[in-house]
């Protein structure tokens, strides 16, 4: 063992009766990954709350302290950390004061609470009496020596072939011992603001793993939340200082485990071939989720799970946060976005909202829908029947529900009856075209009667399911790497009516990476006759990525060079083919001038087309699916990704969880609904 340095090199040791200051404890929890344990500190706020509850509740029963933004509860008596909103292994919690350095990764490991108390007591006696070189025995019979306040060593015995030796020994590898969390190299996480402004439910795509590192939806959403906290600090600093902004809570919604607990995995195992076992297992566990969703049996299981889980999480969140007054949004990745889209297209809007809401409501497909009954009858030159309709208390909604039998019972003659029914059917057909092209024909579909009355052909390939209702109206729907456009096309939907909007959700953003092989656009389905670029998502640091600027610059330069070269070649050819007369000089100058003018024209138009398109893109009418705003947003690829699109295709589909640009757009749009804007608007943002 290393000998302690001479006393002269040490600071003067405390005299007997020296000052002793109690150690400040910090609370940690144990994270177990692949049988490896790692002790993670709670944030300073959480640790203070736990310490306060520990001091106050020693005599009481089990005290529960919410931590990590309310997503985990710590049961103090049993020293357990339990997930609130999802299923997760219970973690051990420890009140830590003394630490020793581990063998494998040099991270500090806390001693048990009881042994830490023994060490603290020995330290206190040593400081008070000035008696150092104290020797203690750890619970697993290892030796700890307190040489002086700066040098404390734990001797870890070397593995010996003699199993009978049970005497603690100082032989072996010495490991550093530290007192107090401030003396060890550990990063205490920043706490989260207590105020929650908005709640977002995040639904995963195919398979149990959500990113390139095969992590679960819980871990990926944790990343997304952490990025959102750093983006709030960077871009909403003023609003935070004025206490207008707290944070946005993101909660994961897991449907994969419910689907695969139906017994379908056992059935699949029976019919799966034994060769290439790992690949077949991967396909069964991930890619088959797409086929499950297209099966009416399992589609019902999936939509029921997603809707009931989001409703359960919403109820539980409100119970735990009774002061919460913010809105709720939803986000879906990959197949998860399609599940949410189908759920949202099958939600029922309130009748009052149907009647009065002019912005994107389901019935606001034409100006005539808001006309009163009198105005409709006047338009049809049937004003003399106004009294009959008033007597029967017929409003616009009741009129649209009328059948020929009803009108006959009211005493309306055949001619006027036909006029009214024709008007109803024409207006209803406009609404159905906007609405039901997107709807699976199902028992849960509120407009199946309209389908039969107008004989509108709904693609039979759509999945038949009874779509449950959500307990709230989402503010915005965010789709990441979404195949919605492709699935709608495969179902036979050629066009989305520009007047169509989701019944209960007025915002819709389709966000994708340019190399994402699963992502498809939505806007060309609304405006099929016009070719235009998606909105380029601004970089979170406020400018276009340098390699994209360079690429644009080189493109512009190459166009200029090409035009100049063509101009000079034209001039040369003209001078070569003309007869050598004195007027040639003037002619050539004119030709040059023409060529230059042409070149200038071309350079003015061609290279500037993409930026011009981008500047004008907000003026493009992309319908009411996102309240009249743009829907498709494309991320900027990283410099390394632009070298090989195919190489980064898979990563492109799984990049959204840690994408600052994606998170910033989500935060910007959410806070915009509350009238709160970024400190500085990003260039190119809408």
* Phi/psi of residue 455, nearest 5 degrees: 55, 35
What secondary structure does DSSP assign to 540-584, as a single string?
Answer: TTSS--HHHHHHHHHHHHHHHHHHHHHHHHHHHHHHHHS---TTH
- 3-state SS assignment for residue 7: helix
- Radius of gyration in angstroms for the set of CA atoms belonging to the chain, rounded to a whole number: 35
Cα dihedral value 261, 266, 271, 275, nearest 10: 90
The half-sphere exposure of 402 on its side-chain side, counting CA atoms within 13 A, is 26
User: Which residues share a beta bridge with 174?
Assistant: 155
User: Which tokens hold the place of 345?
Assistant: 């297209």
CB atoms inside a 10 Å sphere around CB 213? 10
What secondary structure does DSSP assign to 364-428, as a single string?
Answer: TTSGGGG--HHHHHHHTT-GGGHHHHHHTT--HHHHHT--HHHHHHTT--HHHHHHHHHHHHHHH
Active site residue 334: yes
* Residue of 138, 334, 361, 501 with catalytic role: 334
CA distances (Å), 569 to each of 321, 438, 576, in order?
74, 55, 10
Query: CA angle, corner 419, sides to 414 and 425, nearest 5?
Result: 120
Number of residues that this document lists for the chain: 686
User: Which tokens hold the place of 61?
Assistant: 């029963």
Residue 162 burial class via C-beta count within 10 angstroms: exposed 0-12, middle 13-18, buried 19 and up: exposed
Q: Which of 404, 304, 439 is nearest to 448 (CA)?
A: 439
CB atoms inside a 10 Å sphere around CB 672? 14
- Per-residue 3-state assignment (H helix, E strand, C coil) for 327-358: EEEEEEECHHHHHHHHHHHCCCCCHHHHHHCC
Q: Quick check: 253 and 306 in contact, CB under 8 A? A: yes
Number of H helices, E strands in the chain: 24, 19
Between CA 291 and CA 284 the distance in angstroms is 10
Q: Quick check: 247 and 240 in contact, CB under 8 A? A: no
User: Which tokens hold the place of 484?
Assistant: 């919605």
Q: Which of 551, 535, 512 is nearest to 652 (CA)?
A: 512
User: Which tokens hold the place of 139?
Assistant: 């619970």
Between CA 180 and CA 116 the distance in angstroms is 10
Q: Quick check: 145 and 155 in contact, CB under 8 A? A: yes
CB atoms inside a 10 Å sphere around CB 637? 19
* Phi/psi of residue 466, nearest 5 degrees: -95, 105
Cα 641 from chain centroid (whole Å): 22
Q: Name the residues annotated as catalytic.
A: 334
């Amino acid at each position: 063992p290393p000998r302690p340095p001479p006393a002269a090199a040490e600071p003067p040791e405390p005299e007997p009766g020296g000052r002793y200051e109690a150690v400040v404890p910090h609370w940690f929890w144990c994270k177990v990954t692949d049988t490896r344990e790692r002790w993670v500190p709670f944030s300073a706020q959480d640790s203070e709350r736990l310490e306060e509850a520990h001091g106050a509740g020693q005599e009481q029963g089990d005290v529960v302290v919410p931590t990590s933004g309310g997503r985990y509860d710590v049961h103090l008596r049993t020293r357990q950390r339990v997930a609130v909103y999802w299923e997760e292994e219970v973690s051990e919690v420890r009140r830590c004061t003394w630490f020793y350095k581990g063998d494998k990764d040099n991270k500090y490991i806390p001693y048990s609470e009881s042994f830490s108390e023994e060490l603290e007591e020995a330290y206190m006696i040593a400081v008070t009496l000035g008696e150092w070189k104290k020797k203690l025995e750890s619970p697993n019979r290892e030796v700890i020596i307190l040489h002086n306040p700066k040098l404390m060593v734990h001797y870890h015995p070397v593995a010996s072939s003699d199993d009978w030796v049970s005497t603690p020994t100082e032989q072996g590898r010495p490991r550093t011992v530290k007192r107090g969390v401030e003396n060890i190299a550990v990063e205490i996480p920043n706490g989260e603001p207590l105020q929650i402004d908005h709640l977002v439910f995040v639904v995963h795509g195919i398979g149990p793993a959500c990113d390139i590192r095969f992590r679960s939806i819980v871990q990926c959403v944790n990343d997304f939340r952490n990025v959102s906290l750093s983006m709030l600090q960077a871009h909403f600093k003023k609003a935070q200082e004025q206490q207008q902004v707290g944070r946005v809570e993101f909660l994961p919604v897991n449907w994969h485990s419910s689907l695969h607990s139906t017994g379908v995995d056992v059935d699949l195992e029976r019919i799966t071939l034994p060769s290439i076992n790992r690949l077949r297992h991967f396909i069964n566990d991930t890619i088959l989720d797409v086929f499950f969703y297209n099966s009416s049996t399992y589609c019902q299981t999936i939509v029921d799970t997603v809707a009931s889980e989001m409703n359960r999480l919403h109820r539980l969140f409100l119970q735990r946060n009774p002061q919460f007054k913010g809105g709720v949004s939803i986000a879906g990745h990959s197949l998860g976005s399609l599940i949410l889209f189908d759920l949202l297209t099958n939600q029922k809007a309130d009748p009052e909202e149907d009647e009065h809401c002019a912005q994107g409501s389901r019935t606001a497909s034409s100006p005539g829908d808001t006309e009163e009954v009198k105005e409709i009858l006047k338009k049809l030159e049937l004003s003399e029947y106004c009294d009959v309709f008033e007597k029967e208390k017929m409003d616009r909604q009741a009129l649209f529900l009328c059948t020929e039998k009803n009108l006959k019972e009211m005493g309306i003659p055949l001619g006027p009856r036909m006029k009214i029914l024709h008007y109803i059917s024409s207006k209803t057909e406009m609404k159905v075209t906007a609405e039901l092209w997107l709807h699976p024909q199902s028992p849960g579909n509120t407009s199946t009667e309209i389908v039969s009355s107008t004989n509108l052909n709904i693609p039979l390939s759509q999945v038949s399911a009874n779509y449950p209702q959500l307990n709230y109206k989402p503010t915005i729907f965010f789709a990441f790497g979404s195949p919605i456009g492709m699935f709608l096309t495969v179902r036979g939907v050629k066009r989305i009516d520009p007047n169509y909007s989701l019944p209960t959700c007025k915002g819709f953003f389709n966000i994708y990476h340019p190399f994402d092989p699963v992502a498809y656009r939505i806007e060309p389905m609304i405006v099929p006759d016009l070719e235009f670029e998606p909105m380029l998502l601004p970089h979170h640091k406020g400018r276009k990525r340098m390699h994209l600027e360079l690429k644009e610059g080189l493109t512009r330069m190459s166009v200029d060079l090409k035009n100049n070269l063509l101009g000079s070649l034209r001039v040369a050819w003209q001078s070569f083919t003309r007869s050598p007369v004195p007027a040639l000089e003037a002619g050539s100058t004119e030709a040059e001038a023409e060529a230059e003018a042409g070149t200038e024209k071309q350079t003015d138009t061609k290279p500037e087309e993409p930026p011009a398109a981008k500047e004008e893109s907000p003026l493009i009418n992309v319908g009411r699916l996102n309240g009249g705003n743009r829907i498709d947003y494309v991320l900027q690829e990283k410099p390394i990704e632009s070298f090989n699109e195919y190489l980064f295709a898979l990563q492109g589909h799984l990049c959204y969880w840690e994408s600052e640009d994606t998170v910033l757009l989500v935060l910007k749009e959410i806070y915009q609904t509350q009238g709160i804007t970024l400190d500085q608007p990003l260039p190119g943002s809408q």
